Structures are given as structure tokens and as C-alpha cells.
Structure 1
């Protein structure tokens, strides 16, 4: 029996071992469990968890990086979204701009006014252009015994090129002006005394020059201009002016400088009282450095101007130093800006400048520079609104050898056509001037603009009895109004206050006796309007009326102007 149990035990053990060998192929490892006795917990076996557990850094297992991949599978779709439509708005028709125009008008006093302006781009960087104008009248002023016709013809041309670092331009022009010394004193001569007099005078002006502007360079710009000016009385003048400017940035400030050379030389065939020729000429060298400082609302320019004058005719040299100071301060943004300054300059006078201001001067002038010792000014400017700007300024100026136009003396026996009390000389005097001037500009919209200016002057002279032919009050008003798309209008009003001149006569029987009389020229105003109609984008017609009040006022002594003048014409714009 025991042998049976033994055999049965051996078989059971063998089957167990065989089953164990087959399980060894499973993924689970072998485990051994030792059971001693069942665990019965008690309260005494519990323990309190620590507030601050301690970690053993050496036991921390490094966190593995997990990467996620998204597999995009394209899906075909037949959905097509509808296209949206933007809201439409009424848009004004674009205005075609033309580079060229021609204008022609005719009017009373046989007046002809014509202009042609041409501009053409040769390439993206090259441009050429020209300008031709003509204004003439056959005269016909009431009460004038001599011819009073005039003409003014100008021709200019230019070439301009823009390069990467600079832009330069050359230009030249010719100007021909004709006038008459028709201002003979009324009642002083008999009509027979004026028979055979040709009071005509013609001025010619030929000028050539150029300018260059640099980008991001020490030298800012440079210019050169030569002018030859003469008349039909064998007078001639040559002038050459060269200028250059350069800027230097120093930290947060700017140093600006200008260097100039001014050469002038001229002559008149004879003097007013003798047949001796009058020659003049000088060279002026000027250097004007300034230091500009900007601090918040303050802009300050501190500078000086140094000038050296070499009188080539009299072999005299002189050196001048002038202040060149200007400042502005924004008190209330753009509404109120205070400004002021103290400046001076050596002003180069010329026959050309005198004629442009008064074409009735005699060709017997003394030409010399004016020493503007100082010009001090203070004022305020700003904007009352986005549409209205203003400026108010007070000035005080001291000048040596200031030019004053004064009527020439009337000789007992006139020898030239300009010796009948109908020409003007240039008188030099030391003059101080006090003035107050104001300006108001209104720009309500693109269709209406208005400008108003006014000034009051007070003069003090050293040698002359009066500041001859300088007004005590001036005012002007300008306006332009676009009435509709086709109609436009504009106008201007000028007011000039009283001036004084002097008439000096030699006694008819004794040439050594002179009699002088100070004459007051009445103040005057001149009102002008124009009206135009735009036929199409290229053609416009216009009408102008000048001196609407028909005042036969005298701009210069014994020189009445034309009365009311009406002119009509057309302007045509085009491209090549």
C-alpha cells in the first residue's frame, strides 16, 4: 500500500515538473511566495506621514521624452465657398494732369498777354523744360504827352538730372523789357518843347547758372549764377554769384554754414550832370556759420556772419561782422509760437535790382552796397484752427547807405530824354525803420482760400528830408474760389499809403538858383478780379479786370497808371 502511495507521489511530482517546464516559456518571471501567517493589523501599527517628505535625488528616475506624431490624410472635397463682394462707393473721376500749357489773352490798351510752359521727361532721371512769356501794351493813358507803351518778354530753358546721391540742374534765360520815360511834370513844359523826344528805354538780361543738391553728404548744396544786364543807353553790368552750404551734426545739435562769393562790375556811359562815365565794382566774400539747438519746445539758432568787401574801383577794403541769431518757442503746441531774432547783412545792390523795382531810373546811377547793421524782430504765429493761420511781428532795422528812389533834378536845358523831370536817381542815406506787420491765411477747404497782409512803417533819416517813395502803410488781400467743377474765380486788392518825393528845378534865367518842393503822393488801392470756365480737361477760357476803381493813381511821381483794364483769353493744357 505504501508502495502505491510512493508511486503515485512520484508520478504527481513528474507531471508538476513537466508543467513547470512548459510555463517557463511565458512572459512572466518566476515568483516565490512565503506565507508565514495571516496579517492582522492593529492601531499600534499605524504611523503619521511627515509634513516635509525628504526626497533622495539619487533615486529620481529620469523622465522619458514622449514624441507624438500626427498622420494627416488628405480628404477630397467638392465644397467651393461663394466669393464675397466689397461694398462700392462713389469715386470722383481722377483729374488728368498735364505737363505743358499755352495761354493767350488780349485786352484794352491793346494789351497782349501770352505764356507757354513746356516740360518733358527724357527718362526716369532726366527732365528738360522751357518757359516763354510776353506782356505788352500800346498805352494810351489820358493826359500823357509822351509814348507810354511797354513790353516784357522772357525766355527760359532748363535741364535737370537726378542721380543716386545728388540732383543737379542747369538753366539759362533771356529777358527783354521796353519802357518809356513818359512822366513829365504837368504844366511845366509846352507841347512844342516835347516834340521830337524819344523817351524809349530797353533793358536786356542774359543769365546762365546751375545748382546741385547732395544727399547724405557734408556739402548740402552749391549754386552758380552769371548775369549780364544792360540797356539801350550803353550801360552794362556783369555779376557772378557762387554759394555753397554744408551741415555738420554734432551730438544732438546741427552746425550749418554758408559760404558765398559775389562779384559785380558795371558802368554807365555818363553822369546826370556831366559826360564823365561812372564805373563801379566790388567783390564780397561772406561766411555764415550757425549752431542749431533743439530742446523740447525750443529751437535756437546761434550764428554770426562775416563779410569782406573789396571795392575794386576805389581800391578799398572793409570787414564786417553781423549777428545771426533766431529762436522760436512753442507756447501752446501749434496754436501759439513765439519767435524773435537779431540779424544783419551786407546787401549787394545792382542796376538789375534797381530796374526791377523802378524801371524809370536814369542810366546815371551810383551803385554801392547797403550795410544793414542789424535787423531785430519779435512776434508770434500759429493756428487759430486747422483752417486759419496767423502771424504778427514787430521789426526794428538800422541801415547805412540804404537806397531811396528820388526824382532827378530838372536842368535848365535838358540834354537827354530822361532829363525832363521824368526819371529817378538813387539816394543813399542812413535810415532806421520801425514796422509792425501781420498776416492771416484762411484755407477753409480745397475750394476757397484767403490771404490778408498788412504793415505799418515809421522811418528816421540822417541826411535826406524824407524816406523818399517809401510808404507808411501797405495792405493786400488775395482769394481764390472754386465755384463748381467748371467755374473758378479769384481776386486781389492792394493798398499803398502815402509817399513823398521831391521836385527840384533850376531857375529859367539863372542856372545857379534851385527851387525844391516836397510832393506827397496820394495813397491808392488797386482791385483786380478774374473769372474762368473749364470747357474740358484741356481747355479753359478766362476773363480778367484790373484797377476796377479806375484810379489814375501815381505809383511814382508824374507816372499815372492805366485806368480799368479788361482782358480775355484761353488756356490749353497738353502733353507731348
Structure 2
């Protein structure tokens, strides 16, 4: 009975709902008919336009909303009428809105501030150990020194053919900071196969450097040298001379003192005064005294400008044929001042200056202009300049160039004005190079000719004016102290001579080279090379002649046999070329020497 009541209530509710829905459908149907009638007329006028664009419009068909009870009622009553359909025509194209991209950010980890408990197991202090931390004590940083000064001493001795004997020694003293003293002495003697072909040399020098508390450095040098030769280059060889009459001995003694500040002072000034006293004499009582005083002051402005002032006084006096009616005294004095304005930067240097000079009361103003420029991003430096200078000619300097001189009758200084250009630089960490071409005008250049009697002595002739074109080049290769190579070549062309036919005694071409190679820790090799084209000389018939080219090669080796003892072996004139540097003076042939070196290190 209870179920029957529920079924009746349900049927009543369905019938009421169905009636209400049908009434609503009738109202909507009337409104749609009216709307379609109003839109039918304008649709005709726009028929062609509508037909042209049907593809751009979309038609959506929606079924009238029917409630679930209505559907159930229609199906139950068997209503087969089609549901009413509403057709909406529109150009609107629905699209979905772009969704924003969601970025995920990692969360930072949570800082763990909790302390991890650490347990220490301390054993029983049966032996009373102290488990106390060691206190930290600061230590003074040791001063870095690139080279620790060590006083070294050695003695070298050897013998060879041509009755050759050699002895050499060097000793050093001082602490390397406040004072340094080096003492060196050497002795060499040899005797050739020609009559009176004999040579010996003894030399000694002491150099000391003292540093003061005021950042100044004193340098002193004392030297002595004795050389003994004989005039063996006479012709014809059949001439009979007593050996004592051919003696040619020179003695030189001198002292030098200099002072300089190692760094600029509070006024940005550096200074370097020097004084030299020299005595030179031969076995014929010809003597020469010389005094050379130099003072150089450099004042810096800002960082790239400086003014340099140099003062030089070179005074000498020579006496020839003393205590004879032909006694001659030659005074040769040279003074000059060299003010220069300097401009220095890392890539460019420019020096502008002049050099007023007084040569034995003859005044001249010489140029002093030089420039250097470094090519960017390279190690190449280009240089050029226009400079003037004097070469002081003294008995000491001329005898050092040609030891076979006769007594001098005149002394003149050589004035040179040079215009040059060149390059220099390096390639890599080991190779260096340099090249220069120079055009030099020379006045009073000394030339050397044999005397017209037997030719064993040379007379000095001064060429008033001549031109010199000079080419010079150098290359070097160094690898620390293990390997070193240096070679140079010089080409000289003399022209426009006024008095003399040729540049007597001057080398037109010369090549020199030296090599040092530390093959092993206790094995060293050394080699030297000298090559040149023969110079012009004047024969007894007053004709210009030329000496043959020459080549001289030397090779040496040194190796250790004990911790402080080394053996050395050397061969001079390896090619056994008996050439002549000066006309009528033949050199020794192949010379072999050997000996020991003991070091006191």
C-alpha cells in the first residue's frame, strides 16, 4: 500500500512537469517565427553577398534543452515528433585563450642549524699527557733574494806548445750587500818560431764596490798591466838585430773612482761623477799622463720627462824622445758639455740635445738627437739618430789598437758626425737581434803605414776628411746559463779620402762569434771565431796593397774530475792559418794548451 502511494505521487509530478515544458516550447516557437519573418526581407537583398562568403561563416545547431523528465515522458508516450531546432549563423570563430606558462621555482633547502653532537674519547691520563692546543706563533717572512752572494776563488794554470805558459787567479771578498771586492791577476807567455817572435803579458786589477747608508754607491778600480813584445816584423829577414834593440814593452797603471746614487733622491735627481788617473810608458822612456773627469746629472720631471747634463774634461800630456835634442811634448785636451732633454715612454724615446766641444781650443757644436720607437704588440724597436762625438786619440789608445807604433810626432782627436737608422728586438724568450746602417763623416781619422826602412814600425797618418758607410749586425741566443751564442758582422766602406789613397790598416769586413755550452753539469764547451777581409797597406814602393783574408777558430773544453778540480783543454788557431793582421807581422800557428782549474768554493 505504501509503494502504491509513492508511484501515484511520482506519476502526478511527471505529468505536471510535462505540461509546463510544452507551454514554454509554444511561446518560444512563436517568437522564432516572428524573428525569422523580420529577417527574411533583408536576407533577399544580401543574397549575392551571403552566397559569396558562406565559407567564412560557421553554422552551429543546438538542440532545445529538454529536462530529463520531459524526455522520459515523450519516450513513454511514444512522441515521435522531431525536436525543435534553432540555427544560428555567425562569423565569430571561437578560440581558446593562451594559457600562461607555469614556471616552477625550486625551493631553497632549509638551513640546518642543529649541531651534530661529537663525542670524544679521551683516554685515561695515566702518563699525564697535556692535550692542550699548540699556540700559533707568527714568524718573520724571510727576505727573497734572487742570488745569494758567495765568495768564490779559483786558480787556473796550463802549458802548451810554442813554450806557452798560462796562470790566472781570481778572488772575491765582501758580504755582497755593503761591500764587494774582486781581485784578478793573469800571466801569459809564448815564443814563436820566427826570430824575436816572443810575447808575454802580466795584468792585475782590483774592483771594489761600497754601499753607504744614504743609498749611494762608491766604485773604485786600480789596475796594472805589463806587455812585452819584440819588433820581429822587419824585412828582409836577413837583417841582423840584437834582441834588446827590438824590445817593445808597455806599462800601464791607473785608478778610477766613481760615485752614484742607486735610486732617485727626493728631488728626482740621479748623479754619477767619475775620475780616472792613468800612467802609460814604454821601454824607450816615452810617457803619457792622463786625467779624465766626468760628471753626469739627470733631473726627472713628472714621469716621462728628464733633463740630462754631462760634463767631461779629458786632459793628457805625452813626452817623446826625452833627454834628447828631439824631445817632443804633446798636449791633447778635450772638453765638452752635453745638455739633453729626454722624453721616455714604454713605447717611445726621444733625446734632443747638443754637445758644445773644445778640441785643443777648436770649438765645435755637435748634434745629439736620437729616437727609439717600439712597434705595438711586438718586440721590434726601430731606432734612428743624428749624433756627433769625439774619439780621443792618445798614445795609450793608439798602442792598444796597433802595438807596433813608432814614436809619435802628433796627436789629433777624431771628430765624427753620424747619421744612422736601425732595428733591434727579440723573438721568443731566447733570440735577440740588432742591425744598423750608419753614414759617418770623419775628420782626422788615424791611419797606419809601415816605415820605409825595414817596415817593423808603423807611422800614424791623420786623414783630414773621409766618408764611412758602416753596416753592423748582431744576433744572440741564450738559454739561462746552459747555452750562449753571440755573433756580429761589420762592413765598412771608406770613401772620399783627401790625402791618403786608402784607409791604411782599417778592416773593411769583420765577423766575430763566441759560443758557450754547458753540455752536462760538469762538462762545458767554448768556441770562438774571428774572420775578416785583409786591410790595405802601403808597400815600400808607395803602392796600395791588400792583405789576404784571415780566419781564426778556437775551441776549448772543461770538465770536472774532482769536486773542486777541473781539467781544461784548448786549441787556438784551429786551422793553422798563419795570417797577418798587420803587414809583416805573422801570427802563431796551431796552438794547443791544457791545464787544471782549482776552485776554493
When normalised by structure 2's length, the TM-score is 0.72
Alignment partner of 1:182 is 2:227: no
User: Is the alpha carbon distance of 1:298 and 1:169 closer, same or farther for their aligned partners in structure 2, counting shifts above 3 Å?
Assistant: closer
Deviation at 1:365, TM superposition (A): 4.0
How far 1:302 moved relative to its partner? 0.9
* Corresponding residue of 1:437: 472
Contact 1:491/1:527 (<8 A) preserved: yes
> How many angstroms apart in 2 are the aligned matches of 1:364 and 1:244?
31
Pairing 1:279–2:329 present: yes
Please identify, of 284-293 and 156-165, the stretch whose mean Cα deviation from structure 2 is larger.
156-165
**1:525 aligned partner:** 551
Q: Is 1:112 the counterpart of 2:165 in the alignment?
A: yes
Partners of 1:337 and 1:123 in 2: CA distance: 35
- What's 1:349 paired with? 393
Aligned equivalent of 2:38: none
Q: Against the structure 1 CA distance between its residues 451 and 517, is the aligned structure 2 distance closer, same or farther, given a 3 Å change threshold?
A: same
Q: Does 1:546 align with 2:563?
A: no
Q: Do 1:98 and 1:574's aligned partners in 2 also have CA atoms closer than 8 Å?
A: no
Q: Tell me, in whole angstroms, the C-alpha distance in 2 between the residues paired with 1:517 and 1:436.
A: 28
C-alpha distance in structure 2 between counterparts of 1:465 and 1:329, whole Å? 40
- 2:489, 2:510 within 8 Å by CA — same for their partners in 1? yes
Q: Distance in 1 between matches of 2:289 and 2:327?
A: 17
Shift of 1:450: 1.7
- Tell me the residue number matched to 1:399: 442
Is the CA contact 2:534–2:581 (under 8 Å) kept in the aligned structure 1?
Answer: no
8 Å contact 1:360–1:423 — kept in the other structure? Answer: yes
- 1:258 equivalenced with 2:292 (yes/no): no
**In the TM superposition, what is the alpha-carbon distance from 1:118 to its structure 2 partner?**
1.5
Distance 1:127 1:517 in 2: 55
CA distance in 1 between partners of 2:446 and 2:548 (Å): 22
Q: CA contact under 8 A between 2:425 and 2:433: conserved in structure 1?
A: yes
- C-alpha contact 2:151 2:173 (8 A) present in aligned 1: no
Question: What is the CA deviation profile of residues 109-163 of structure 1, one whole-angstrom value per residue up to 9, with x for unaligned ones?
Answer: 11112111121117952333322111111222xxx3x301111111222443211
Check conservation: 2:506, 2:535, Cα contact below 8 A.
Answer: yes
Q: Do structure 1's residue 133 and structure 2's residue 180 form an aligned pair?
A: no
Aligned position for 1:497: 533
Work out the CA distance in 1 between the residues paired with 2:308 and 2:542. 51
Query: 1:574 aligns to what?
Result: 600
CA distance in 2, matches of 1:532, 1:538: 13
Distance, in Å, in 2 between the alignment partners of 1:426 and 1:204 is 21
Report Cα offsets for 1:287-343 as digits up to 9, x if no partner: 11111113452211111111123x3xxxxx221111111111112444321111111
The residue that corresponds to 1:449 in the other structure is 484
Contact 1:278 1:364 in 2 (8 A): no
Note if contact 1:298-1:330 (Cα within 8 Å) is conserved in structure 2. yes
Q: Do 1:438 and 1:453's aligned partners in 2 also have CA atoms closer than 8 Å? A: yes
Q: Where does residue 299 of structure 2 map in the other structure?
A: 248
SS in 2 for 1:234: coil
Query: Counterpart in 2 of 1:475?
Result: 511
SS at match of 2:272: strand
> Unpaired segments of 5 or more residues in structure 1?
1-74, 84-93, 312-316, 411-419, 505-514
1:173 to 223, 235, 239: 223
Contact 2:285 2:322 in 1 (8 A): no
Q: Match of 2:375, SS?
A: strand
Correspondence 1:367 to 2:403: no
Q: State whether residues 569 and 595 of structure 2, in contact with CA within 8 Å, keep that contact through their aligned partners in structure 1.
A: yes
Q: Return the match for 1:466 from 487, 494, 502.
A: 502
Partners of 2:524 and 2:427 lie apart in 1 by: 27
The structure with the largest helix share of the pair is 2
For the 8 Å contact 1:101–1:116, the answer to whether it is kept is: yes
C-alpha distance 81-363 of structure 1, shift in aligned 2 (>3 A): farther
Cα distance in 1 for partners of 2:132, 2:590 equals 73
Is residue 2:200 matched to residue 1:151? Answer: yes
Change (3 A) 1:348 1:485: same
Q: Which has the higher contact order (CA 8 A, sep 6+)?
A: 1
8 Å contact kept, 1:470–1:500: yes
- For residue 161 of structure 1, the aligned residue among 210, 217, 242 is 210
Q: Which runs of 4+ in 1 moved over 4 A?
A: 75-83, 94-98
1:234 aligns with 2:285: yes
Aligned-partner Cα distance in 1 for 2:505–2:375: 39
Match in the other structure for 2:37 = none
CA distance in 2, matches of 1:348, 1:526: 30
How big is the alpha-carbon RMSD for the aligned residues of Structure 1 and Structure 2?
Answer: 2.7
Q: How many pairs does the alignment contain?
A: 456
Aligned residues of 1:122 and 1:128 also touching (Cα < 8 A): no
Once the two structures are TM-superposed, the CA of residue 543 in structure 1 deviates from its matched residue by 0.5
Q: Is the CA contact (8 Å cut-off) linking 1:408 and 1:503 kept in structure 2?
A: no
Aligned equivalents of 2:209 and 2:148: distance in 1?
26
Task: Report the CA distance between 1:194 and its aligned residue.
Answer: 3.8
Helix, strand or coil: the match of 2:574? coil
Per-residue deviation at 1:537? 4.3
Deviation digits for residues 44-65 of structure 1, max 9, x if unmatched? xxxxxxxxxxxxxxxxxxxxxx
User: What does residue 203 of structure 1 align with?
Assistant: 250
**Mapped contact 2:392–2:414 kept (Cα < 8 A):** yes
**Does structure 2 conserve the Cα–Cα contact (< 8 Å) formed by 1:468 and 1:499?**
yes
